[in-house]
């Protein structure tokens, strides 16, 4: 048994078990943990066990953020995405939002920090697109 086998099964189940009842999901988590326990390497076994335990979250997705930092980050992301003005102005708004969102992630509860920080990826893509438009237009 190896990590890749467990990981492949976790990924397949995260799609196929959407909408399944909790007993079915719990049984699959237990089965995957039993498989992971067969991995001889301690580090890979621990990783596989952790991956198996994340199956319920992978099926349902992460819980929505509830902190004021999360709410503010969502607002900043939306404002930057819908900003009007010249390409340079829109880039400046997006860059400012990225800095603010990074600060909010640092202040947020640990369970939401990663989710907040990932909001910056869409803004980074927006900046990249705007710069490309600026070069061609």
pLDDT tens-digit readout, 48-66: 999 999 998 888 876 667 8
Distance in angstroms between the alpha carbons of the first and the last residue of the chain: 55
The pTM of the whole model exceeds 0.75: no
Q: Which residue has the tokens 């902190």?
A: 67
Name the nearest CA neighbour of 44 among 10, 15, 1. 1
The more confident residue out of 62 and 39 is 39
Q: Which pLDDT value is given to residue 62?
A: 63
Name the nearest CA neighbour of 18 among 65, 60, 69, 64. 60
- Cα–Cα distance list, 129 to 15, 32, 93, 117, 121 (Å): 31, 42, 14, 20, 12
Q: Which pLDDT value is given to residue 133?
A: 86
């Amino acid at each position: 048994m190896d990590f890749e086998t467990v990981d492949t099964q976790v990924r397949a189940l995260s799609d196929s078990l959407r909408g399944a009842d909790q007993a079915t999901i719990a049984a699959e988590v237990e089965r995957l943990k039993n498989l992971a326990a067969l991995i001889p390497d301690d580090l890979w076994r621990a990783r596989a066990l952790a991956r198996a335990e994340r199956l319920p979250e992978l099926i349902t997705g992460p819980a929505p953020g509830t902190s004021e930092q999360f709410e503010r980050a969502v607002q900043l992301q939306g404002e930057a995405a819908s900003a009007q003005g010249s390409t340079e102005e829109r880039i400046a708004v997006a860059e400012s939002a990225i800095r603010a969102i990074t600060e909010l992630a640092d202040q947020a509860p640990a369970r939401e920090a990663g989710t907040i920080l990932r909001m910056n990826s869409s803004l980074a893509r927006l900046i990249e697109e705007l710069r490309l438009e600026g070069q061609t237009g």
